[in-house]
């Protein structure tokens, strides 16, 4: 149904899936899998179920194998116990009428030996990404990693495939590949962290190869319209040496052109958090999402700093098909209803973003709706 006042509240056909609105919950690492096996818990099921009025939920980034870990208490998607734990989550969300994709990730060189019994993490090249890893002993600086062998790269791609299979078995509705800056995939894309001389380094085509090998592996498991990918092409802060460079625009042009042939669920693009003037990507400062709209022919999901107003505006002008909200979902489990009734948003407590139990996780109340205090934008029956 159309909703001319608020396109965010319109239904949306995403391949075979019917989303009840265009408000997507973006992935939020919350560090609540506080058990040695990194198994999703009943508390996590409750948390996601509380947010099931979103058109689609994207889980926190989850690990595709035991070598991909780099942040404490983040759940995995590689063991039997983890699959069983995720079944609790998908069932709780489905029972509440929601849809949920699993976000599959690998942190590559941005990890720390504390996660690997003292052994170095591995990345595309033996280059310190100069970021920080949240270890059991707090934040620690990244080190110079080991370079992945070709055999290890091939195995990693197979691990993505297995994790995608596991997500299917666990009852998810699809998967999103986590390719935000800091993760393994963008470490391959960046000139600063990839100085390989084999088929995974050098030219744009070689550095982007892993994106398509991972996608091809996953599409052997899921139909393409259940598979998505999330990029942050222009992140400047907290990304160590992986800043946009003179090849960022050409490599993304190449990636977008090839992705256009995949008929994916959507391409998820995070906007700029800072002013891009004076950087190699300054042409994207204005009309940022149009650059992606014009270079990619599939469905586009826009993210970063959206409000009810700007989310409705970008959908209305047609520059994006879906909008995702991250931080707002932490303290407003029923964000959609807030939009529907024009209610003010609560602020989340940042001290409990990445750690803790139920407090700051499942104890944010739902809004109180009152016919006198708020008016609803129900869908027009057009």
Cα-atom radius of gyration of the chain, to the nearest Å? 20
Instruction: DSSP letter for 135, please.
Output: E
If one counts every other C-beta atom within 10 angstroms of the C-beta of residue 52, the result is 21
Angle subtended by helix axes 42-50 and 80-95, to nearest 10: 30
The three-class DSSP label of residue 319 is: coil
Query: Binding residue for ligand FMN (CB under 6 A) from 27, 133, 187, 308?
Result: 27
CB 124 within 8 A of CB 194: yes
DSSP 227-279: EEEEE-TT--SS-TT----TTHHHHHHHHHHHHTTS--SEEEEE--SS--TTS
Site track 48-67 with ligand FMN (rule: CB under 6 A), x = hit: ------------xx------
Report the nearest approach of ligand FMN to the CB of residue 318 (Å): 21
Q: Which of residues 223-282 bind ligand FMN (CB under 6 A)?
A: 230, 270
Of residues 67 and 178, the one with the C-beta less far from ligand FMN: 178
Report the nearest approach of ligand FMN to the CB of residue 130 (Å): 20
Of residues 125 and 343, the one with the C-beta less far from ligand FMN: 343
Of residues 103 and 131, the one with the C-beta less far from ligand FMN: 103
CB 92 within 8 A of CB 46: yes
Of residues 24 and 125, the one with the C-beta less far from ligand FMN: 24
Residue facing ligand FMN at closest CB distance: 326
**Helix residue ranges per DSSP H, the chain:** 42-50, 80-95, 150-169, 184-189, 204-219, 248-259, 288-295, 308-317, 328-331, 335-341
Site track 322-341 with ligand FMN (rule: CB under 6 A), x = hit: ---xxxx-------------
Of residues 27 and 279, the one with the C-beta less far from ligand FMN: 27
Of residues 7 and 125, the one with the C-beta less far from ligand FMN: 7
Q: Which of residues 59-118 bind ligand FMN (CB under 6 A)?
A: 60-61, 103
Q: Which residues of 197-233 are buried (b: 16+ CB within 10 A; e: fewer)?
A: eeebbeeeebbbbbbebbbebbbebbebbbbbbbbbb
Of 22-30, 91-99, 149-157, 159-167, the window that binds ligand FMN (rule: CB under 6 A) is 22-30
Of residues 353 and 369, the one with the C-beta less far from ligand FMN: 353
Q: Which residues here bind ligand FMN, judged by CB under 6 A?
A: 26-29, 60-61, 103, 178, 180, 230, 270, 303-306, 325-328, 353
């Amino acid at each position: 149904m159309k909703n001319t006042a608020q396109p965010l509240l319109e239904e949306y056909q995403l391949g075979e899936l019917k989303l009840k609105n265009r408000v997507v919950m973006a992935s939020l690492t919350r560090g609540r899998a506080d058990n040695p096996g990194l198994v999703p818990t009943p508390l996590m099921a409750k948390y996601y179920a509380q947010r099931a009025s979103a058109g689609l939920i994207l889980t926190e980034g989850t690990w595709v194998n035991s070598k991909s870990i780099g942040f404490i208490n983040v759940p995995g998607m590689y063991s039997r116990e983890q699959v069983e734990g995720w079944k609790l989550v998908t069932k709780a969300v489905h029972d509440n009428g929601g849809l949920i994709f699993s976000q599959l990730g690998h942190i590559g060189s941005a990890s720390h030996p504390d996660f690997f019994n003292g052994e170095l993490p591995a990345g595309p090249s033996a280059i310190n990404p100069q970021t920080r890893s949240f270890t059991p002993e707090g934040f620690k600086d990244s080190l110079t990693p080991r370079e992945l062998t070709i055999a290890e790269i091939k195995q990693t791609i197979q691990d993505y495939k297995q994790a995608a299979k596991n997500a299917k078995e666990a009852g998810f509705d699809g998967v999103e590949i986590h390719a935000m800056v800091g993760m393994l995939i963008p470490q391959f894309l960046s000139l600063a962290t990839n100085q390989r001389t084999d088929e995974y380094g050098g030219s744009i085509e070689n550095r982007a190869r892993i994106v398509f090998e991972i996608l091809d592996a996953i599409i052997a498991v899921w139909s393409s319209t259940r598979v998505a990918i999330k990029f942050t092409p222009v992140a400047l802060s907290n990304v160590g040496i992986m800043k946009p460079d003179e090849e960022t625009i050409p490599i993304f042009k190449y990636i977008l052109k090839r992705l256009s042939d995949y008929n994916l669920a959507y391409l998820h693009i995070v906007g700029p958090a800072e002013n891009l003037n004076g950087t190699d990507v300054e042409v994207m400062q204005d009309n940022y999402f149009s650059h992606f709209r014009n270079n990619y022919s599939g469905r586009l999901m826009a993210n970063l700093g959206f409000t009810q107003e700007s989310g409705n505006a970008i959908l209305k002008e047609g520059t994006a098909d879906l909008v995702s909200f991250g931080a707002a979902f932490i303290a407003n489990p029923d964000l959609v209803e807030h939009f529907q009734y024009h209610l003010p948003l609560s602020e989340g407590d940042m001290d409990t973003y990445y750690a803790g139990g139920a407090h700051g996780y499942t104890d944010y109340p739902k809004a109180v709706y009152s016919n006198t205090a708020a008016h609803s934008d129900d869908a027009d029956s057009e």
